[in-house]
Amino acid sequence: MAASTPELEADRQALIRLVQDEAVFHGDFTLSSGKKATYYVDMRKLTLDHRAAPAIGRIMLDLIADIPDIVAVGGLTLGADPIANAVMHESARTAHPLDAFVVRKEPKDHGRGRQIEGADVRGRRVVVVEDTSTTGQSALKAVEALRREGAEVVAVAVIVDRSTGAQVAIEAEGLEWRSAIGLADLGLDPQ
């Protein structure tokens, strides 16, 4: 999916080059889903990189800009955290700033026992973000926790779509799927 302006598309193309050069590793890998792969896209290397994070914020904000009434973005810790923060920081420059939230894998066993930290999501429209997804299970775990908390999750947005079934799983839950970069953009074949 191309970005909405020439400047954002230039950001997206620069990010694609960074992903190709620094985040695609070839070899024999076992993905978190248990599936075998001949390459691995390690987006955490770039979501935490000063060269890529600002562009990720702009690109992901653009990707979800047309979804009405979104108030926050976030997802399952750890992968979603830098993306949500990049989007939040970039959105602060706009007329519609977004907050961020973090979904813990399990509720805390002390303090207030919260599973979702940051923005109050109860009764609010939110988007789950992720770096990449194989089966959609991490995003769906975040969606489940958000729904229990009373959030209205409307979409899942990923930086890189691996084309391995995550979109189908997300859409089966009645959510919209959005991705900024596809395998074809990276010159990779589906696995």
Tell whether residue 178 is among the known ligand binding residues.
Answer: no
152 is in an annotated binding site: no
Q: Which of 164, 167, 161, 166 shows the shortest CA–CA distance to 184?
A: 161
**Cα–Cα distance measured from residue 188 to residue 146, given in angstroms and rounded to the nearest whole number:** 33
The reply, when asked if residue 136 is annotated as ligand binding, is yes
Q: Is 137 annotated as a binding residue?
A: yes
The answer to whether 138 is annotated as binding is yes
- Could you give the count of Cα atoms lying within 13 Å of 7 in the half-sphere of its Cβ? 3
**171 labeled binding residue:** no
- Residue 104 annotated as binding? yes
133 annotated as belonging to a binding site for a ligand: yes
Question: Is residue 45 marked as binding?
Answer: no
117 has binding-site annotation:
no
* Binding-site positions for 5-phospho-alpha-D-ribose 1-diphosphate: 104-105, 108, 110, 130-138
* Binding-site positions: 104-105, 108, 110, 130-138, 162
* Binding-site positions for orotate: 134, 162
